[in-house]
């Protein structure tokens, strides 16, 4: 692989945020002059969701709290009228050329890849839905921005980057890279809040299958109490689930902290009782998710099924709370035109 030495995009704000995709989006959009908070990026991208994922080939069930990888990016681009250019290829050579050409032209690039292969990554677990921003390279390394937990501005060898991009498996993409271009007059988020919230609420309230949305949380509430019988290694599997819920780029409480903070920011821009109700209920839901994670972790370390029974009860309460919150938020579309809150 032939590269140019010291090719680095100028003017990069390499803040590492909490979630990988919103971290990368923040880097790309700040370079375009559009500086939005991480909760606002997450909310305008209708990022909140829920999935209870289990199958015969999985060691243990997975609880997911957001939409599928890259769906948030597509949603955000559509909401704000951004020009999203996505490139995918089966050719490693072409994949590198796609990235290098953008960086040589002075543009940071988003990459979807498998975090397992990245030199700096703390957790050696395959995750093909990881997203980073790349802003430079030299003869040996690629220069990236990842979450604050992973170090913010980081580097990984070109060889490791190639392996991460070429990996195949769940949630992976074919050497996906992307750029974003904002309109000459950067859009204000205020006018896009209601459509983003109501789209998220509709998907959550009307899931196509029982593993998703509020139905998925109810299902989790029923199945979590059986988890000690689902695993041969509870001291590993249950604390791992709790860790993923609280610390694996979720912002805590399985992304509910991010959505709570998004709704709080929205209440400063729009005056709506439905919005305030949704925010209050998501503050409750976030606390409940953190409680459930702690109980699941404690069940693993103690082997006591009663902690899972309690976690199941908490999740039933979460399902009720989030359903009520989303019903309130779904009514935003029927509000009179919002006025700026004092």
Q: 234 and 98 in one domain?
A: no
Please name the helix (run of DSSP H) or strand (run of DSSP E) that holds residue 195, with its range, or none. Answer: helix 193-205
* Residue 198 clears pLDDT 60, i.e. is over it: yes
pLDDT of residue 98: 97
Instruction: Pick the more confident residue, 339 or 117.
Output: 117
Q: 149 and 294 in one domain?
A: no
Q: 303 and 233 in one domain?
A: yes
Q: 162 and 25 in one domain?
A: yes
Environment class of residue 90 by beta-carbon count within 10 Å: exposed (0-12), middle (13-18) or buried (19+)? exposed
Mean pLDDT of the chain, nearest integer: 93
Last residue of a domain, one of 181, 215, 231: 181
Residue 81 covered by a domain: yes
Q: 197 and 174 in one domain?
A: no
Reference 240, options 295, 296, 303; nearest CA is: 296
* Mean pLDDT across 116-133: 92
Q: 317 and 215 in one domain?
A: yes
Model pLDDT for residues 150-190, shown as the tens digit of each residue = 999 999 999 999 999 999 988 899 999 999 999 988 778 89
State the Cα–Cα distance between residues 22 and 249, nearest whole angstrom: 10
Instruction: Pick the more confident residue, 1 or 168.
Output: 168
Residue 341 covered by a domain: no
Q: 163 and 193 in one domain?
A: no
Give the structural domain span for 267.
Answer: 189-334
State the Cα–Cα distance between residues 96 and 220, nearest whole angstrom: 41
Residue 109 covered by a domain: yes
Q: What separation in angstroms does the CA of 76 have from each of 65, 154, 213?
A: 17, 25, 20
* Mean pLDDT across 69-95: 96
* Mean pLDDT across 259-282: 97
Reference 234, options 162, 300, 176, 279; nearest CA is: 300
Q: 198 and 172 in one domain?
A: no
Residue 340 covered by a domain: no
Last residue of a domain, one of 125, 157, 181: 181
State the Cα–Cα distance between residues 84 and 18, nearest whole angstrom: 23
Residue 295 covered by a domain: yes
Residue 25 covered by a domain: yes
pLDDT of residue 335: 57
* Mean pLDDT across 113-127: 91
Report the relative pairing of strands 177-181 and 109-113 from DSSP bridges: antiparallel
Reference 285, options 243, 249, 250, 320; nearest CA is: 320
Q: What separation in angstroms does the CA of 173 have from each of 127, 192, 196?
A: 11, 29, 25
pLDDT of residue 123: 78
Identify the band that residue 60 occupies on the pLDDT scale cut at 50, 70 and 90. Answer: very high
CATH number of the domain within which 131 lies: 3.90.70.10
* C-alpha angle 317-273-216 in degrees, rounded to nearest 5: 30
Q: 65 and 133 in one domain?
A: yes
Supply 238's token pair: 């249950």
* Mean pLDDT across 244-253: 94
pLDDT of residue 170: 85
Torsion, Cα of 147, 149, 151, 154 (10° steps): -40
* Residue 210 clears pLDDT 50, i.e. is over it: yes
Annotate 62-122 with three-state secondary structure: EEEEECCCCHHHHHHHHHHCCEEEEECCCCHHHHHHHHHHHHHCCCCEEEEECHHHCCCCC
Supply 249's token pair: 């780029």
Q: 255 and 196 in one domain?
A: yes
Identify the band that residue 341 occupies on the pLDDT scale cut at 50, 70 and 90. Answer: very low
Decide if 166 contacts 112 (C-beta within 8 A).
Answer: no
Residue 1 covered by a domain: no
Residue 83 covered by a domain: yes
* Extended beta strands in the chain, E state: 7-8, 48-53, 62-66, 83-87, 109-113, 130-137, 141-145, 153-157, 177-181
Q: How many residues does the chain have?
A: 342
Longest dimension (CA), the chain: 59
Q: 175 and 193 in one domain?
A: no
State the Cα–Cα distance between residues 189 and 21, nearest whole angstrom: 18
Identify the band that residue 340 occupies on the pLDDT scale cut at 50, 70 and 90. Answer: very low
Q: How many domains does the chain have?
A: 2
Q: 313 and 213 in one domain?
A: yes
CATH number of the domain within which 328 lies: 1.20.120
Last residue of a domain, one of 181, 210, 237: 181
């Amino acid at each position: 692989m032939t590269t140019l030495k010291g090719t680095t995009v100028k003017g990069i704000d390499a803040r590492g945020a909490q979630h990988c995709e919103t971290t990368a989006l923040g880097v790309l959009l700040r370079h375009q002059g559009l500086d939005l908070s991480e909760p606002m990026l997450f909310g305008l991208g209708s990022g909140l969701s829920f999935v209870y994922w289990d199958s015969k080939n999985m060691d243990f069930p997975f609880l997911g709290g957001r939409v599928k990888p890259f769906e948030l990016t597509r949603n955000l681009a559509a909401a704000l009228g951004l020009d999203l250019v996505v490139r995918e290829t089966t050719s490693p050579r072409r994949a590198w050329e796609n990235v290098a050409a953008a960086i040589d032209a002075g543009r940071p690039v988003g990459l979807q890849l498998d975090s397992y292969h990245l030199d700096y990554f703390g957790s050696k677990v395959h995750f093909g839905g990881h997203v980073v921003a790349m802003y430079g390279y030299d003869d040996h390394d690629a220069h990236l921005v990842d979450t604050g937990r992973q170090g913010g501005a980081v580097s990984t060898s070109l060889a490791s980057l190639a392996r991460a991009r070429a990996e195949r498996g769940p949630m992976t993409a074919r050497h996906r890279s992307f750029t974003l271009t904002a309109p000459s007059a950067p859009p204000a988020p205020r006018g896009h809040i209601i459509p983003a919230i109501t789209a998220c609420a509709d998907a959550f309230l009307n899931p196509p299958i029982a593993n998703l949305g509020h139905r998925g949380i109810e299902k989790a509430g029923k199945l979590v109490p059986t988890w000690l019988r689902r695993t041969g290694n509870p001291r590993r599997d249950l604390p791992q689930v709790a860790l993923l819920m609280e610390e694996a780029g979720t912002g805590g409480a399985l992304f509910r902290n991010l959505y709570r903070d998004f709704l709080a920011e929205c209440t400063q821009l729009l005056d709506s009782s439905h919005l305030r109700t949704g925010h209050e209920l998501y503050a409750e839901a976030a606390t409940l998710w953190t409680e459930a994670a702690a109980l699941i972790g404690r069940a693993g370390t103690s082997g006591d099924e009663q902690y899972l029974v309690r976690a199941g009860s908490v999740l039933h309460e979460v399902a009720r709370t989030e359903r009520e919150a989303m019903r309130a938020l779904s009514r935003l579309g029927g509000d009179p035109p919002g006025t700026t809150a004092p």
